Amino acid sequence: MRLFSPLYDRAMRWARHRHAPRYLAGLSFAESSFFPIPPDVMLAPMTLAKPDKAWWFAFLTTVTSVLGGMFGYLIGVFAFEFVEPLLHQAGYWPQYLQAKAWFDEWGFWAVFLAGFSPIPYKVFTITAGVISMALVPFLVASAIGRGTRFFLVAALMAWGGERMERLLREYIDRIGWLLVLLAVVVFFLV
């Protein structure tokens, strides 16, 4: 059943759209402070679609993500009372408590690792504001962590280029169904 290949084709068309960089910037900003979808889901296909712009896309994603991180920091400083119930409702409260513990122990490195890893970065940006982490180390750690992640994604996609795009297109339905099966297995195990 070919369910994922039409979605892949549509994603690649959108990745080539003239406004795609604006959407990538908006998603990168929002994900760092409140939105749940990581910018990698746009960065990867955009880089596959236009490998010659890989470094520009990675730079744009990094800068807007760090700016979004600053917004998350401000949320933590000025609006945590409003955000706290949302963290509970969204299921991010345990991650918030873990982030706070990591900040107490590692500070700068907690932000760096959160910026690079798939851990919800927004939890760390808000937590940094709540604990009033020094702004310059926060920005430096964010820029290094996020930049490393996004430049790595862009480099891998650009390196794969057209060949990777063709291979993905050929196997996307198998990959998609395998991921669905994996998600179902994980759901029943957890």
CA atoms within 13 A on the CB side of 149: 26
Range of the domain at 25: 4-189
Q: Taking the CA atoms of 72, 73, 78 and 79 in sequence, report the sign of the dihedral they define.
A: positive
In which element (H, E) is residue 5 found? helix 4-15
Q: What is the pLDDT along the chain (190 residues), one digit of tens a residue?
A: 677 777 767 777 777 889 999 999 998 999 998 877 788 888 988 898 889 999 999 999 999 999 999 999 999 999 988 888 988 898 888 888 888 888 888 888 888 888 887 778 888 898 899 888 999 999 999 999 999 999 999 999 899 877 877 777 777 778 778 877 877 887 787 6
pTM, to two decimals: 0.78
The number of domains in the chain is: 1
